[in-house]
């Protein structure tokens, strides 16, 4: 197992390298630059700025320089937020995004999982239809519709929660973002869980467990659930990576100072280092969570072996 994990970490390095390379050149191929503002900067100042940030050197040199910096854990300065380095921006924003995304993920897995189990146990009964309806609504209505509607009803009409803002992490400020982040995930988890649970309940070992006279609780939770978990786990990996690295929609609607907004802002401003930083962070999260998924596979299903 340990060898497997080590090997996976080693194969992650070339993957990361390919992703960094593609995004670096893709970003640089795009017209414009970080200092091409609409008003037009004084050419001398612009040239100076570009020299400071090594943007006047040939592209391949810049690429090697960036790779070298990256290997030393240096993400470089942000061009458009000159008071901060990319690492500082992430140090400030990432905990916030992780907190919101993590809460949303845990809630979606627990609640969605429970809803899915209930739906599977009462298949084609009212409870099942209620879950299916919730799941359909949750996965159909886009976040950028749900979030403002949430603000409209719960913040402006009922005045239960503030409209937006981080409020130094006050609980009421997190309700809206977490719920809107959670809902689409909850819908998918519930649907997946329902499907795989129905299948799992039909399998032979469950029939055997029932024949042995085990309690319904034991049959469902100890035996059927374990077999039904695999699709949820494989879904949860990429979902976790996406949730924890912040959502531009939720963060911009609720005015949350996370890292979700950096991606779009930085790409539009050609803030090369910030874009690359975001790509690297997302890629690392994705790789790590995919690895966790594969390890969990082996934990949940003993038939899966990595040797």
Partner 1 sequence: MTDVTLPSAAKGRSLWADAWNRLKANKAAMVSLWYLLFMGIVCIVGPWFTPHDFTTIYQDYTRVPPSLSAYPKADAIDLAVKDAVQRSRLELAGWEEKDGKVYITVTSAKPIDPRVTRYIDRSDVFEGAQVVETSDDKLKMTMSADFKHEYFFFGTDNNGRDLLTRTLIAGRVSLAIGLLAGLVAVVIGVLYGAVAGFSGGKTDEVMMRIVDILYSLPFIFFVIMLVVFFGRNFVLMFLAVGAVLWLDMARIVRGQALSLKRQEYVQAAEALGVSPGGILLRHVVPNLLGPVVIYMTLLVPQVIILESFLSFLGLGVQEPMSSWGVLISQGAKNIPSATWLLIFPSFFLTTTLFALNFIGDGLRDALDPKDR
Residues of this chain that interact with partner 1 (CB under 8 A) are 15, 18-19, 22-23, 26-27, 29-32, 136, 140-142, 144-145, 147-149, 151-152, 156, 248-249, 253, 263-264, 267-268, 275, 278-279, 282-283, 286
Q: How far is the CB of 270 from partner 1 (least distance, A)?
A: 8
- Strand stretches in 195-268, DSSP E: none
Nearer residue to partner 1 within complex by CB, 47 or 248: 248
Q: How far is the CB of 304 from partner 1 (least distance, A)?
A: 21
DSSP one-letter code for 258: S
DSSP one-letter code for 85: B
Nearer residue to partner 1 within complex by CB, 96 or 253: 253
CB atoms closer than 10 angstroms to residue 210:
13
Give dist(CA 224, CA 117) in Å, integer: 10
* Token duo for residue 286: 């994705």
The distance in angstroms from the start CA to the end CA of the chain is 7
Instruction: Supply the DSSP string of 154-191, one letter for each residue.
Output: IIIIS-SS-SS--GGG-HHHHHHHHHHHHHHHHHHHHH
Q: How far is the CB of 70 from partner 1 (least distance, A)?
A: 17
Nearer residue to partner 1 within complex by CB, 110 or 149: 149
Give dist(CA 208, CA 8) in Å, integer: 38
Nearer residue to partner 1 within complex by CB, 193 or 275: 275
Nearer residue to partner 1 within complex by CB, 147 or 230: 147
Q: How far is the CB of 195 from partner 1 (least distance, A)?
A: 13
User: Backbone phi, then psi, for 77, in 5-degree steps?
Assistant: -85, 160
Nearer residue to partner 1 within complex by CB, 112 or 164: 164
Nearer residue to partner 1 within complex by CB, 61 or 136: 136
Q: How far is the CB of 2 from partner 1 (least distance, A)?
A: 25
Q: How far is the CB of 279 from partner 1 (least distance, A)?
A: 6
Give dist(CA 176, CA 163) in Å, integer: 8
Crossing angle (nearest 10°) for helices 272-300 and 225-244: 170
Contact call for residues 79 and 73 (beta carbons, < 8 A): no
Give dist(CA 299, CA 64) in Å, integer: 41
Nearer residue to partner 1 within complex by CB, 19 or 106: 19
DSSP one-letter code for 142: -
Q: How far is the CB of 26 from partner 1 (least distance, A)?
A: 5
User: Backbone phi, then psi, for 31, in 5-degree steps?
Assistant: -65, 155
Q: How far is the CB of 197 from partner 1 (least distance, A)?
A: 19
């Amino acid at each position: 197992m340990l060898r497997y994990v080590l090997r996976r970490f080693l194969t992650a390095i070339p993957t990361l390298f390919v992703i960094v390379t593609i995004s670096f050149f893709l970003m640089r191929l795009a017209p414009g630059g970080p200092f091409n503002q609409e008003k037009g900067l004084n050419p001398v100042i612009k040239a100076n700025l570009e020299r400071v940030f090594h943007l006047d050197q040939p592209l391949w040199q810049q690429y090697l320089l960036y790779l070298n910096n990256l290997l030393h854990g240096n993400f470089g300065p942000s061009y458009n937020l000159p008071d901060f380095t990319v690492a500082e921006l992430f140090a400030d924003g990432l905990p916030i995004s992780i907190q919101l995304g993590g809460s949303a993920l845990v809630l979606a897995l627990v609640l969605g999982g429970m809803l899915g189990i209930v739906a599977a146990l009462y298949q084609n009964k009212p409870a099942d239809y209620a879950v299916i309806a919730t799941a359909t609504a949750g996965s159909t209505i886009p976040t950028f519709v749900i979030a403002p509607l949430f603000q409209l009803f719960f913040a402006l009409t009922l005045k239960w929660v503030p409209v937006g803002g981080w409020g130094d992490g006050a609980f009421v400020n997190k309700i809206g973002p977490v719920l809107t982040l959670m809902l689409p995930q909850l819908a998918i988890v519930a649907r997946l869980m329902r499907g795989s649970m129905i299948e799992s309940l039909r399998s032979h070992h469950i029939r055997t467990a029932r024949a042995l006279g085990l309690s319904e609780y034991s049959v469902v939770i100890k035996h059927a659930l374990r077999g039904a978990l695999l699709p949820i786990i494989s879904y949860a990996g990429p979902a976790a990576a996406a949730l924890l690295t912040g959502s531009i929609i939720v963060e911009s609607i609720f005015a949350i100072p996370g890292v979700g907004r950096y991606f779009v802002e930085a790409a539009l401003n050609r803030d090369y280092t910030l874009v690359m930083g975001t790509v690297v962070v997302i890629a690392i999260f994705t790789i790590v969570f995919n690895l966790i998924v594969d390890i969990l596979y082996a934990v949940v299903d003993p038939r899966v072996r990595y040797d």
